[in-house]
Amino acid sequence: MNSSFPIERAPGVAPGRSSGSAFGNLVWAVATSDDKSLGLKGQIEASFSKIERVLAHFRSDRRYLISVNVLLSNLEQKKEFDAEWRAWVGDDPDHWPQRCCIQAVLSAGTLVEITVVAARPS
């Protein structure tokens, strides 16, 4: 890797993929639950935990989220996701990222996939 263009990467669980990357003051992360037997709430919690670990790996946290994309296998479960989201993102509007939530065809057993972009404080 050219040191004048330093991209940092967090190890992923699947070959050919990282769970997150950072460049400069920006961090990207993606998460799904490893346990596909969990219901939506459990998969959301597992995904949030993974995101928190990746952000911490890059010296950031959810207070610095800029953008979040939520992929649900069933958009009719958006209200359930929103309840978990509000609890996780917190009450301070200064920490609320922009967010979109869409229905998508996900891998077998996956109910939610979340991608984030966050700032990394210097």
Name the residue ranges covered by the structural domains of the chain.
7-119
The CATH number fitting domain 7-119, selected from 3.40.50.300, 3.90.209.20, 3.30.1330.40, 3.90.320.10:
3.30.1330.40
Give the pLDDT of residue 81.
98
Give the pLDDT of residue 8.
94
Residues of the chain with pLDDT under 50: none
Average pLDDT, the chain: 95
List the structure tokens of 1.
Answer: 């890797």
Please count the other Cβ atoms lying within 10 Å of the Cβ belonging to residue 23: 13
Give the pLDDT of residue 3.
66
Please count the other Cβ atoms lying within 10 Å of the Cβ belonging to residue 25: 12
Give the pLDDT of residue 70.
98
Give the pLDDT of residue 122.
79
Please count the other Cβ atoms lying within 10 Å of the Cβ belonging to residue 76: 8
Q: Using a CB cutoff of 8 Å and minimum separation of 24, what contacts does 85-91 make?
A: 85/44, 88/48, 88/62, 89/62, 89/65, 90/62
What CA–CA distance (Å, rounded) separates 20 from 25? Answer: 13
Give the pLDDT of residue 2.
55
Give the pLDDT of residue 12.
87
